[in-house]
């Protein structure tokens, strides 16, 4: 069977699709914003040359902005501070209660509108042909347009052309140009994507996003007034992804009556393999819950549909627990040895890209995302944002309450990190002014036998200046 997708040479442009037509009136009324080219060249109009564009859907962007604005008064957001709500007691846990805090006022459910919109926002490239009859657009991360990809699915209304580009990296400058066959018919224009969280648009797999793109800070010392000093870095994009389960065929687990529906029949398998280049799938579901998988569905899908053997490994942490329960596990748990194997895989994600998931990508996946993000130096605010973004995929996960049914309990996770004692000792990992990244590092080394060498490799391979 012929492959549906070609491999692109620019890794940051993962998918291209046509957007809803733009009226000729809107285009012509915007000529003052164009990059002027001498006729008979095409006029590249949108995005405005040099403009910064957001690749988050508007309601998601509004939520992220509201959280960051609320966090501005926080003196040091790298600490496990009391600006946000934490369950007051891990013994009783207070399930079903919602805790309030006069500083912690942003609520994610006021932005979700109960809709599944956790996808990236398309950037619309719009231009006037001026009679040049362009039939393709090239886009590149380099101003000389080397390593450019070609987009040929242009739409047009009269002489107004448009095409949408999706799955762009955040915080990147892109250059684009219109062509007629092999001849350029426009000048080169540019736009920059806003820095921050990066969603991945899928057809059926839910709640997928890149762990990269986020700004992080790691402690380097203390100043003369006793304040922590940090170096600022950024998590590399395109290496580690989180989300919902990958399912080849519908099935009902032997220990449940809930159907797990196929998600790899609508182009998503090709997305994960050929665009995201996933080389390792990490599964937090139990054996029965996963349909007794022994290999990645991505691998079996390609074998059945394309007669190809893909080099994709599969690691299952059988029935991994979440939140405070995860932090309390002992070496008797069946998946305990694989925790350090998982972090070793994270250390090598620059060579073999990783996708980790449970069923919906919310609780077990959220716990893993919290540990990895904290280890890399994400702020407490961004860790909360990353957790709550699941709410935009019709899977409500608030940071400020513990569910009475124990489905979600993010406050208890924070409280457990705050109160957890060092192995065999009466002192906690938490100390005044100790960054969350250092606390999680010590927990992983002391309780889960992750090596300091692997942690150093994780930071060296996943972070950039």
What digits encode the pLDDT tens for the residues 434-455? 999 999 999 999 999 999 999 9
Confidence of residue 35 (pLDDT cuts 50, 70, 90): very low
Residue 324 has a CB neighbour count (10 Å cut-off) of 23
Model confidence at 390: pLDDT above 60: yes
Helix pair angle (58-70, 380-388), 10° resolution: 150
pLDDT for 30: 36
- Residue 233 backbone phi and psi in degrees, to 5: -135, -175
* 439/80 Cα distance (integer angstroms): 9
- The whole-model pTM stands at 0.89
Model confidence at 362: pLDDT above 70: yes
Model confidence at 37: pLDDT above 60: no
- Residue 100 backbone phi and psi in degrees, to 5: -115, 155
* 176/10 Cα distance (integer angstroms): 13
pLDDT for 199: 96
* 452/457 Cα distance (integer angstroms): 9
In order, the DSSP letters of 412-437 are: HHHHHHHHPBPTTSSSBS--TT-BHH
Range with the poorest average pLDDT among 18-27, 50-59, 313-322: 18-27
- Taking residues 297-313, report their average pLDDT: 95
Model confidence at 8: pLDDT above 70: no
Question: How far, in Å, are 32, 46, 138, 162 from residue 21 at the CA level?
Answer: 21, 13, 20, 7
User: Which pair of tokens denotes residue 322?
Assistant: 């979440």
pLDDT for 97: 61
Model confidence at 90: pLDDT above 70: no
Confidence of residue 96 (pLDDT cuts 50, 70, 90): low
Confidence of residue 40 (pLDDT cuts 50, 70, 90): confident
Comparing 14 with 323, the larger pLDDT belongs to 323
> Hey, which residues does 309 pair with through a beta bridge?
none
Closest CA to 173 of 150, 140, 149, 126: 140
Tokens 């569910």 sit at which residue?
403
Comparing 39 with 405, the larger pLDDT belongs to 405
Q: What is the mean pLDDT of the chain?
A: 88
**Residue 391 DSSP label:** G
- Taking residues 167-194, report their average pLDDT: 95
Model confidence at 4: pLDDT above 50: no
Model confidence at 318: pLDDT above 50: yes
Comparing 183 with 16, the larger pLDDT belongs to 183
User: Which pair of tokens denotes residue 200?
Assistant: 């991945």
pLDDT for 32: 34
Question: pLDDT by residue (tens digit) across 140-164?
Answer: 999 999 999 899 999 999 999 999 9
Confidence of residue 113 (pLDDT cuts 50, 70, 90): confident
User: Which pair of tokens denotes residue 74?
Assistant: 């926080």
Do β-strands 240-243 and 209-210 pair in parallel, antiparallel, or remain unpaired? antiparallel
pLDDT for 394: 83
> Hey, which residues does 95 pair with through a beta bridge?
none
Comparing 226 with 5, the larger pLDDT belongs to 226
235-273: b (≥16 Cβ within 10 Å) or e = bbbbbbbbbbbbbbeeeebeeeeeebebbbeeebbbbbb
Domain range list for the chain:
15-56+120-197, 74-118+200-464
pLDDT for 406: 78
* 86/420 Cα distance (integer angstroms): 14
**Residue 79 DSSP label:** B
Question: pLDDT by residue (tens digit) across 253-280?
Answer: 988 888 999 999 889 999 999 999 999 9
**Residue 381 DSSP label:** H
**Residue 41 DSSP label:** S
> Hey, which residues does 219 pair with through a beta bridge?
230
CATH number among 1.10.357.10, 2.60.40.10, 3.40.50.150, 3.50.50.60, domain 15-56+120-197: 2.60.40.10
Question: In the chain, what is the straight-line distance between the N-terminal and C-terminal CA atoms, in Å?
Answer: 43
Rounding to the nearest 10 degrees, give the CA dihedral for residues 116, 274, 12, 186: -100
pLDDT for 12: 45
- Taking residues 15-36, report their average pLDDT: 38
* 162/176 Cα distance (integer angstroms): 13
Q: Which residues contact 337 (CB under 8 A, 6 or more apart)?
A: none
Query: Using DSSP, how many helices (H) and how many strands (E) does the chain show?
Result: 12, 20
Comparing 374 with 33, the larger pLDDT belongs to 374
Confidence of residue 88 (pLDDT cuts 50, 70, 90): low
Question: How far, in Å, are 40, 124, 145, 276, 320 from residue 138 at the CA level?
Answer: 19, 14, 8, 21, 45
pLDDT for 98: 64
Question: How far, in Å, are 127, 132, 140, 159 from residue 23 at the CA level?
Answer: 12, 19, 27, 11
Closest CA to 346 of 390, 286, 284, 280: 280
Query: What is 74-118+200-464's CATH number?
Result: 3.90.190.10
Comparing 184 with 100, the larger pLDDT belongs to 184
**Residue 337 DSSP label:** H
Q: Do domains 15-56+120-197 and 74-118+200-464 have the same CATH topology?
A: no
């Amino acid at each position: 069977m012929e492959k549906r997708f070609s491999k692109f040479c620019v890794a940051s442009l993962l998918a291209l699709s046509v957007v809803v037509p733009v009226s000729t009136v809107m285009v012509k009324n915007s000529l003052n914003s164009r990059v002027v080219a001498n006729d008979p060249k095409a006029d590249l109009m949108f995005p405005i040359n040099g403009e910064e564009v957001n690749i988050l859907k508007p309601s998601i962007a509004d939520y992220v902005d509201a959280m960051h604005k609320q966090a501005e008064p926080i003196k040091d957001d790298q600490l496990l501070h009391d600006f946000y709500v934490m369950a007051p007691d891990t013994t009783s846990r207070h399930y079903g209660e919602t805790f309030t805090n006069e500083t912690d006022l942003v609520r994610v459910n006021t932005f979700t509108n109960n809709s599944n919109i956790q996808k990236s926002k398309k950037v619309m490239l719009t231009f006037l042909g001026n009679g040049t009859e362009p039939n393709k657009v090239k886009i590149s991360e380099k101003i000389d347009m080397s390593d450019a990809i070609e987009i040929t699915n242009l739409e047009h209304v009269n002489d107004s052309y448009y095409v949408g580009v999706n799955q762009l990296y955040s915080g990147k400058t892109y250059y684009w140009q219109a062509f007629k066959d092999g001849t350029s018919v426009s000048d080169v224009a540019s736009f920059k994507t806003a820095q921050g969280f990066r969603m991945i648009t899928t057809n059926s797999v839910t709640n997928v996003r890149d762990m990269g793109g986020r700004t992080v800070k790691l402690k380097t010392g203390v100043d003369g007034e006793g304040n922590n000093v940090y170096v600022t870095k950024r998590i590399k994009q395109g290496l580690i992804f989180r989300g919902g389960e990958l399912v080849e065929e519908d099935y009902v687990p032997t220990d449940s009556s809930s159907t797990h529906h196929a998600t790899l029949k609508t182009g998503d398998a090709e997305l994960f393999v050929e665009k995201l280049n996933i080389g390792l799938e990490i599964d937090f579901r139990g054996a029965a819950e996963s349909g007794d998988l022994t290999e990645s569905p991505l691998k079996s899908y390609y074998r059945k549909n394309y007669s190809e053997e893909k080099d994709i490994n599969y690691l299952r942490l059988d029935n991994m627990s979440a939140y405070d329960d995860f932090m309390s596990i002992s070496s008797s748990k069946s998946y305990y040895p694989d925790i350090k194997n998982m972090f070793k895989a994270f250390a090598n994600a620059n060579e073999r890209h990783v996708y980790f998931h449970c069923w919906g990508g919310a609780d077990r996946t959220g716990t893993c995302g919290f540990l990895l993000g904290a280890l890399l130096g994400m702020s407490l605010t961004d860790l909360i944002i990353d957790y709550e973004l699941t709410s935009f995929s019709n899977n409500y996960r608030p940071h400020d309450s513990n569910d009475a049914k124990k489905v979600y309990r993010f406050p208890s996770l924070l409280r457990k990190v705050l109160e957890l004692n060092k192995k065999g000792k009466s002192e906690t990992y938490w100390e005044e002014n100790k960054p969350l990244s250092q606390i999680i590092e010590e927990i992983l080394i002391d309780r889960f036998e992750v090596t300091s060498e692997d942690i150093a490799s994780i930071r060296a391979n996943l972070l950039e200046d």
